[in-house]
Amino acid sequence: MEIQHPELIDLLKRAYSAEKAAAFAYIGHAGSVNEKEKKLAIKQIEDDEWQHRKEVLKIMNNYDISISKYYEIQYHIIGKIISFSCYVIGWFMPYYFAGRLESGNVCEYFIMMRYFHDLGIKDHDAVLYEMGIKEKEHEVYFLKQIEHSKLLPIFEKLFNWGKSESYNDVDIEALHSIDKSDQYCEHKS
Protein backbone atom coordinates (compact mmCIF):
# COMPACT_ATOMS: atom_id res chain seq x y z
CA MET A 1 0.00 0.00 0.00
CA GLU A 2 1.41 3.37 -0.99
CA ILE A 3 0.76 6.53 0.97
CA GLN A 4 0.52 10.08 -0.31
CA HIS A 5 2.18 12.22 2.34
CA PRO A 6 5.53 13.69 1.18
CA GLU A 7 6.48 15.04 4.63
CA LEU A 8 5.89 11.67 6.29
CA ILE A 9 7.75 9.78 3.58
CA ASP A 10 10.75 12.10 3.88
CA LEU A 11 10.69 11.95 7.68
CA LEU A 12 10.71 8.14 7.60
CA LYS A 13 13.60 8.07 5.13
CA ARG A 14 15.63 10.56 7.17
CA ALA A 15 14.90 8.80 10.46
CA TYR A 16 15.95 5.45 9.03
CA SER A 17 19.32 6.80 7.91
CA ALA A 18 19.85 9.06 10.93
CA GLU A 19 19.45 6.09 13.28
CA LYS A 20 22.51 4.55 11.61
CA ALA A 21 24.47 7.78 12.12
CA ALA A 22 23.50 7.80 15.79
CA ALA A 23 24.48 4.16 16.23
CA PHE A 24 27.87 4.82 14.62
CA ALA A 25 28.37 7.84 16.87
CA TYR A 26 27.64 5.76 19.97
CA ILE A 27 30.17 3.14 18.90
CA GLY A 28 32.84 5.84 19.06
CA HIS A 29 31.40 7.35 22.21
CA ALA A 30 31.39 4.01 24.04
CA GLY A 31 34.90 3.32 22.82
CA SER A 32 36.14 6.66 24.13
CA VAL A 33 34.96 6.24 27.73
CA ASN A 34 36.89 4.29 30.32
CA GLU A 35 34.24 3.40 32.90
CA LYS A 36 32.68 0.00 32.22
CA GLU A 37 29.21 1.05 33.46
CA LYS A 38 29.10 4.07 31.15
CA LYS A 39 30.49 2.03 28.26
CA LEU A 40 27.66 -0.51 28.73
CA ALA A 41 25.00 2.21 29.01
CA ILE A 42 26.15 3.82 25.77
CA LYS A 43 26.30 0.41 24.08
CA GLN A 44 22.68 -0.15 25.10
CA ILE A 45 21.73 3.17 23.54
CA GLU A 46 23.56 2.15 20.37
CA ASP A 47 21.55 -1.10 20.35
CA ASP A 48 18.33 0.91 20.78
CA GLU A 49 19.23 2.99 17.73
CA TRP A 50 19.81 -0.13 15.60
CA GLN A 51 16.44 -1.45 16.79
CA HIS A 52 14.74 1.85 15.89
CA ARG A 53 16.26 1.60 12.43
CA LYS A 54 14.75 -1.89 12.01
CA GLU A 55 11.34 -0.67 13.18
CA VAL A 56 11.36 2.31 10.83
CA LEU A 57 12.31 0.02 7.94
CA LYS A 58 9.37 -2.27 8.75
CA ILE A 59 7.05 0.72 8.56
CA MET A 60 8.64 1.89 5.30
CA ASN A 61 8.27 -1.59 3.80
CA ASN A 62 4.54 -1.58 4.64
CA TYR A 63 4.10 1.38 2.30
CA ASP A 64 6.69 0.56 -0.39
CA ILE A 65 8.88 3.49 0.69
CA SER A 66 12.39 3.08 -0.62
CA ILE A 67 15.54 3.84 1.33
CA SER A 68 17.15 7.12 0.31
CA LYS A 69 20.64 6.51 -1.05
CA TYR A 70 21.40 10.20 -0.48
CA TYR A 71 20.42 10.08 3.21
CA GLU A 72 22.23 6.76 3.67
CA ILE A 73 25.51 8.20 2.36
CA GLN A 74 25.06 11.54 4.13
CA TYR A 75 24.27 10.04 7.54
CA HIS A 76 26.86 7.28 7.16
CA ILE A 77 29.56 9.92 6.77
CA ILE A 78 28.17 12.06 9.59
CA GLY A 79 28.02 9.07 11.95
CA LYS A 80 31.58 7.99 11.16
CA ILE A 81 32.94 11.53 11.65
CA ILE A 82 31.16 11.87 14.98
CA SER A 83 32.34 8.42 16.04
CA PHE A 84 35.96 9.33 15.34
CA SER A 85 35.66 12.77 16.96
CA CYS A 86 34.62 11.22 20.28
CA TYR A 87 38.23 10.12 20.74
CA VAL A 88 39.62 13.64 20.36
CA ILE A 89 37.11 16.19 21.72
CA GLY A 90 37.20 15.29 25.40
CA TRP A 91 34.53 13.74 27.60
CA PHE A 92 31.97 16.57 27.82
CA MET A 93 31.09 17.26 24.19
CA PRO A 94 30.13 13.69 23.20
CA TYR A 95 27.64 13.59 26.09
CA TYR A 96 26.37 17.10 25.43
CA PHE A 97 25.80 16.71 21.71
CA ALA A 98 24.35 13.21 22.11
CA GLY A 99 21.79 14.61 24.54
CA ARG A 100 21.01 17.52 22.27
CA LEU A 101 20.60 15.19 19.29
CA GLU A 102 18.33 12.83 21.22
CA SER A 103 16.27 15.78 22.41
CA GLY A 104 15.43 16.65 18.81
CA ASN A 105 14.82 13.04 17.83
CA VAL A 106 12.02 12.65 20.37
CA CYS A 107 9.61 14.75 18.32
CA GLU A 108 10.39 12.89 15.09
CA TYR A 109 8.38 9.90 16.22
CA PHE A 110 5.44 11.86 17.62
CA ILE A 111 5.26 13.90 14.41
CA MET A 112 5.30 10.67 12.38
CA MET A 113 2.39 9.45 14.48
CA ARG A 114 0.51 12.68 13.81
CA TYR A 115 1.19 12.41 10.06
CA PHE A 116 -0.09 8.83 10.05
CA HIS A 117 -3.20 10.03 11.88
CA ASP A 118 -3.71 12.62 9.12
CA LEU A 119 -4.05 9.60 6.81
CA GLY A 120 -6.34 7.75 9.22
CA ILE A 121 -3.62 5.22 10.13
CA LYS A 122 -3.10 4.27 13.77
CA ASP A 123 -1.39 0.91 13.24
CA HIS A 124 2.06 2.23 14.21
CA ASP A 125 1.10 4.24 17.29
CA ALA A 126 2.59 1.82 19.83
CA VAL A 127 6.00 1.46 18.16
CA LEU A 128 6.29 5.18 17.35
CA TYR A 129 5.31 6.08 20.92
CA GLU A 130 7.84 3.62 22.33
CA MET A 131 10.63 4.96 20.12
CA GLY A 132 9.81 8.58 21.03
CA ILE A 133 9.87 7.77 24.73
CA LYS A 134 13.11 5.78 24.35
CA GLU A 135 14.73 8.80 22.68
CA LYS A 136 13.62 10.90 25.67
CA GLU A 137 15.19 8.37 28.03
CA HIS A 138 18.43 8.72 26.06
CA GLU A 139 18.25 12.51 26.34
CA VAL A 140 17.76 12.27 30.10
CA TYR A 141 20.66 9.82 30.46
CA PHE A 142 23.10 12.07 28.60
CA LEU A 143 22.01 15.18 30.49
CA LYS A 144 22.53 13.41 33.83
CA GLN A 145 26.11 12.61 32.82
CA ILE A 146 26.97 16.30 32.42
CA GLU A 147 24.52 18.06 34.73
CA HIS A 148 27.25 19.17 37.16
CA SER A 149 29.80 20.23 34.56
CA LYS A 150 30.84 23.87 34.58
CA LEU A 151 30.66 23.78 30.79
CA LEU A 152 26.93 23.02 30.69
CA PRO A 153 25.66 26.60 31.26
CA ILE A 154 27.98 27.88 28.52
CA PHE A 155 26.91 25.22 26.03
CA GLU A 156 23.26 25.69 26.97
CA LYS A 157 23.48 29.37 26.05
CA LEU A 158 25.30 28.61 22.81
CA PHE A 159 23.25 25.63 21.64
CA ASN A 160 19.85 26.06 23.36
CA TRP A 161 19.79 22.69 25.10
CA GLY A 162 20.50 21.63 28.67
CA LYS A 163 18.92 21.68 32.11
CA SER A 164 16.40 24.39 31.32
CA GLU A 165 15.92 23.90 27.57
CA SER A 166 14.86 20.93 25.48
CA TYR A 167 13.76 20.40 21.89
CA ASN A 168 10.68 18.51 23.05
CA ASP A 169 7.99 18.82 25.67
CA VAL A 170 7.96 15.22 26.92
CA ASP A 171 8.17 14.94 30.70
CA ILE A 172 9.58 11.50 31.50
CA GLU A 173 8.16 11.74 35.04
CA ALA A 174 4.59 12.40 33.84
CA LEU A 175 4.08 10.65 30.51
CA HIS A 176 0.91 10.96 28.47
CA SER A 177 -0.72 7.72 27.39
CA ILE A 178 -0.44 6.74 23.74
CA ASP A 179 -3.91 8.07 22.94
CA LYS A 180 -2.98 11.50 24.36
CA SER A 181 0.56 11.60 22.94
CA ASP A 182 -0.58 13.69 19.98
CA GLN A 183 -0.23 16.60 22.44
CA TYR A 184 3.56 16.14 22.34
CA CYS A 185 5.61 18.28 20.01
CA GLU A 186 2.65 20.28 18.69
CA HIS A 187 4.98 23.24 18.21
CA LYS A 188 7.10 21.18 15.81
CA SER A 189 4.62 20.04 13.18
Hey, what domains does the chain have and what are their CATH numbers? 6-183 (1.20.1260.10)
- The structure's pTM equals 0.93
Q: Please report the pLDDT score of residue 189 as a whole number.
A: 56
Diameter of the chain measured on Cα atoms: 52
Q: In this predicted model, what pLDDT tens digit does every residue of 139-183 receive, in sequence order?
A: 999 999 999 999 999 999 999 999 999 999 999 999 999 999 988
d(CA 138, CA 136): 5
CB-based contacts of 180-189 (< 8 A; 24+ apart in sequence): 181/110, 181/113, 181/125, 181/129, 181/132, 182/110, 182/113, 182/114, 182/117, 184/106, 184/107, 184/110, 184/132, 185/106, 185/107, 185/110, 185/111, 188/107, 188/111, 189/111, 189/114, 189/115
For the chain, residues with pLDDT lower than 50 are none
Q: Please report the pLDDT score of residue 183 as a whole number.
A: 87
Q: Please report the pLDDT score of residue 134 as a whole number.
A: 97
3-state secondary structure at position 165: coil
CB 105 within 8 A of CB 48: no
CB 49 within 8 A of CB 28: no
User: Which of 112, 105, 104, 115 minimizes the C-alpha distance to 128?
Assistant: 112
